[in-house]
A and B are shown apart, each in its own frame.
Chain A
Amino acid sequence: MADIRNDFVGIKSPNPFWLASAPPTDKAYNVVRAFKAGWGGVVWKTLGEEGPPVVNVNGPRYGAIWGADRRLLGLNNIELITDRELQTNLREIKQVKADWPDRAMVVSIMVPCEEQAWKAILPVVEETGCDGIELNFGCPHGMSERGMGSAVGQVPEYIEMVARWCKANTRMPVIVKLTPNITDIRYPARAALTGGADAVSLINTVSSITGVNLDNFSPEPSIDGKGSHGGYCGPAVKPIALNMVAEIARDPQTRGMPISGIGGVTTWRDAAEFMALGAGNVQVCTAAMTYGFRIVEDMIEGLSNWMDAKGHASLSDIIGRATPNVTDWQYLNLNYVAKARIDQDKCISCGRCHIACEDTSHQAITQTVNGKRMFEVMEDECVGCNLCVNVCPVEGCIEMVPLAPGTLDQRTGKTVSDSYANWTQHPNNPMAKAAAE
């Protein structure tokens, strides 16, 4: 049996599945249910300053997009940080941590960008006995209008400054949660590291409007006919999150900094992908909000079954394994040649590959062969783009087959080389020529 115990910046949990700071972690009631279900840890719903708590809207705070059978693909919210009294939260955090010592208890915090505010809250949080703190620099709505959340996360200098304050005022590990609503995720990550943060977690939600009501022209979710951009999460944001995790993991300046991967994690497979790209563990919100806490059972079992099948003994065997394979476009091997091949036994003759290639790609798939409806790849036209594979409704029906070195590429008339050559060396690259001169 694979060992899936997790150690993230010294915070130990029986598995790498944490609940992200969000409604599932807003009260002892929910968190206890989560721990009973088997979750390895939680990041408590973001706490604000002492004093009257924030208020939420009293109408819809979620919007969504769905697949045909109402499968929830993306969720959007305009909820703020916790709207419960600070003392109530602290009391509950302390109790739950005492009752569940083996689970990770991280507390998310968001207070104004003044050192005094952080100095005030850190000791009272520390007093709960929690394992660490997460700085919420990500919330893209409401709080950002008040100079907090993503308003901080979008300015690397602020990130560095607040991280430094926190490190100076607490013994606890500091995780900086990043917003994806920036142009290059490496800058805030570097700032967190420079400020002394122990780790980053990402992504928080993506600014979004999920839809427009075409009867009254209100954006969704609609509060009395008006809407405000919310934060987008769930399966739809996973590709964005994966890329951002990889960018930080492979950046020479931040390489090795622990990352807690967040964004659309729904299954054990998603979690494994995040960890392969460099995340030390994962956090989950939307999947739990969609299906309830029970899904963690399958996440735990699925992950260890996969690890057993592949011979991975512990999480360190998989974390970061895919990171070295993420590279810049300019270093991709231009001598690698692949061609689509359609398995005629699996083909159900829907013709989607044909029309996709015909209308929008390279006119490389037949519609008829000898007068019969039949879809075949014409190797002399195929550029190997993979579009047909992606539009084919039958898994495994169309495959991209690499041409072996020494064989003829019928499209270019050139023999496939066994050497590696990339854009930096390509004759069409003006920069390459300049370098050669």
Chain B
Amino acid sequence: MSEGRYREGIATHRLDAAEYAENLNDLHPPFDRHEAQVEADRCYFCYDAPCMNACPTQIDIPMFIRQISTDNPLGSAKTIFEQNIFGGMCARVCPTETLCEQVCVREVAEGKPVRIGLLQRYATDTAMKAGAQFFERAPSTGRKVAVVGAGPAGLACAHRLAMHGHEVVVFEARPKPGGLNEYGIAAYKSVDNFAQAEVDYITAIGGIEIRYEQEIGHHFTIGALVLKYDAVFLGMGLGGVNALGGADAQASGSVDAIEWIGELRQAADPGAVPVGRRVVVVGGGMTAIDAAVQARALGADEVTICYRGPRERMKASVYEQEVARSRGVVIRFEMQPSRILTEGGSVSGMEFTRHGETVTIACDQVMKAIGQTLVAPDLGTAADKLVLEGGRIVIDAEGRTSMAKVWAGGDCVNAGEDLTVAAVAQGRDAAESISRALAQ
């Protein structure tokens, strides 16, 4: 054991390399061929299957599972990718316990759903490893579409547009593509640099140019894109982070959870990412869970998630809460944050109120995971013409915004569900709508 484990304060290299590797490994190891076939055999090939209707991208789940059971993994992958070109990432990150697997008839009947997510991973991994591509570009239409953001929404849209023969230019603020797949998803859900491999796989269709470090609102405006392109898709996610309000402090040790996760995701050596010995995570969603579990993975001794609401309102699913608990995270409810305590400029604890009483938790790091916001300046000068609701862009059923020629999807829209799979569905559907509009 590395000696740094119990070092006070914020420190790097608490564990040795083997421990990091183990802690950040696949949460669910992938199926091998035999395991996949045995699991696939559990599927009843339901008619009008509930799982399929629970999938935001409507993958034909019974069919792709049957294709696995008949030892036709490429056919299976095609079935998946036809509906969801991010089928590989979704297989890893979808909270299947609240989507397809929740309504699996075997979950309802015996509490043991078919492991749809793992089967999807088996099929998509097999196809990607084989370098099998299933889609070709239609003959060029000569139409140009601008996509803002190379996250799941933007790239799903770009891929479908490319299939229909349009030229796509993607403007991405960051130096790398993938959006939160690259900077946000927990390390143990996307090992081996999968996010980048997936982007390469998706853009291999051709006709998609990604321009990096091109930030809308900074380098150009929506108005300018509208003038230059036949259509624009906004998929810039949520760039801003909610503030803790009066509770916030600029002390060292107070970090934004997503930023901290992003740092970990980009670190060549996870040991180099500083983490406290005692960490308090404020929030109740997937980000809070991911931050807490990864803090433990990096060697934090005590990690407490403090959620301000009651247990039943917590956004993270019961299953995710279980994962966190099994990794040694403590979850406390009804903890309304009041202030971060500091000593000599560093975090020393956090104060909460719970039903009028003050609760103090000593800690040396506070991670804020209390939601993201759309950064208004990101919209550029067109901000006034785009109708927002609750701080997100309003779209109709097809993904059209209030601005002519502008579509949007993913986390930045009011219909967003803060799920990768929902972003993919919206990007894909907007592309179909754009194609229909351009054909007229």
Contacts and interface: CB of A to CB of B under 8 A. Distances in A.
Nearest to A359: B47
Contacts of A70: 34
Nearest to B110: A348
Contacts of A69: 38, 41
B114 to A, nearest CB: 11
B319 interface: no
How big is the A interface, by class? Answer: 10 to 19
Nearest to B46: A350
21 contacts: A67-B41, A68-B38, A68-B40, A68-B41, A68-B69, A69-B38, A70-B34, A348-B105, A348-B109, A349-B46, A349-B50, A350-B44, A350-B46, A350-B105, A351-B49, A352-B45, A352-B46, A354-B47, A355-B47, A367-B48, A394-B109
A402 interface: no
Contacts of B108: 348-349
A367 B105 contact: no
Contacts of A393: 44
A373 interface: yes
B5 interface: no
Interface string B33-66: 0100110110011111110000000000000000
Contact of B48 (A67, A348, A373, A394): A373
Interface in B285-314: none
Contacts, number: 38
Contacts of A352: 44-47
B164 interface: no
Contacts of B38: 68-69
Given A349-B46, A352-B46, 8 more contacts: A68-B69, A348-B108, A348-B109, A349-B105, A350-B46, A350-B47, A373-B48, A373-B50
B89 to A, nearest CB: 28
Contacts of B325: none
Contacts of A67: 41
Nearest to A393: B44
Contacts of B40: 68
Contacts of A349: 46, 50, 105, 108
Interface in A330-368: 348-352, 354-355, 367
B54 to A, nearest CB: 13
Highest count of chain A CB atoms <10 Å: which of B44, B49, B108: B44
B106 interface: yes
A18 B38 CA distance: 33
Given A68-B40, A69-B41, A348 B106 contact: yes
Given A68-B40, A68-B41, A69-B41, A351 B109 contact: no
Contacts of B47: 350-352, 354-355, 367
A350 B49 CA distance: 7
Classify the secondary structure of A's interface with B. Answer: loop
A68 B68 CA distance: 11
Nearest to A391: B44
Contacts of A350: 44, 46-47, 49, 105
A394 B110 CA distance: 11
Interface string B328-343: 0000000000000000
Nearest to A346: B109
Interface of B: 34, 37-38, 40-41, 44-50, 69, 105-106, 108-109
B44 A68 contact: no
Nearest to B106: A348
Contacts of B34: 70
B69 A351 contact: no
B435 to A, nearest CB: 33
Contacts of B105: 348-350
Nearest to B108: A348
From B41, B47, B50, residue with most partner A Cβ within 10 Å: B47
A294 B44 CA distance: 34
Interface in A387-436: 393-394
Contacts of B69: 68
B44 to A, nearest CB: 4
A67 B40 CA distance: 12
Contacts of A394: 109
Nearest to B107: A348
A394 B108 CA distance: 13
Contacts of B109: 348, 394
Contacts of B50: 349, 373
- Give the most central of A69, A348, A367: most B CB within 10 Å: A348
Contacts of B45: 352
Interface in A361-385: 367, 373
A354 to B, nearest CB: 6
Interface string A102-122: 000000000000000000000
Contacts of B48: 351, 367, 373
Contacts of B44: 350, 352, 393
10 nearest A-B residue pairs (beta carbon):
A68-B41, A351-B47, A355-B47, A348-B109, A348-B105, A350-B46, A350-B44, A350-B105, A69-B38, A393-B44
A355 to B, nearest CB: 4
Interface in A243-292: none
A238 B334 CA distance: 64
A377 to B, nearest CB: 15
Contacts of A68: 37-38, 40-41, 69
A68 B66 CA distance: 12
A70 B48 CA distance: 29
A350 B69 CA distance: 18
A267 B48 CA distance: 37
A70 B105 CA distance: 24
A349 B40 CA distance: 19
A375 to B, nearest CB: 9
A251 to B, nearest CB: 41
A69 B33 CA distance: 11
Nearest to A353: B47
Nearest to B40: A68
B422 to A, nearest CB: 23
B159 to A, nearest CB: 32
B322 to A, nearest CB: 24
Interface in A46-91: 67-70
Nearest to A355: B47
A390 to B, nearest CB: 14
Contacts of A355: 47
A18 to B, nearest CB: 34
A156 B54 CA distance: 63
Give the residue among B38, B50, B105 with the most A Cβ atoms within 10 A: B105
A69 B50 CA distance: 25
A120 B262 CA distance: 88
Interface string A291-332: 000000000000000000000000000000000000000000
A353 to B, nearest CB: 9
B37 A351 contact: no
A168 to B, nearest CB: 55
A135 B105 CA distance: 53
A352 B37 CA distance: 20
B61 to A, nearest CB: 13
Contacts of B46: 349-352
A2 B38 CA distance: 40
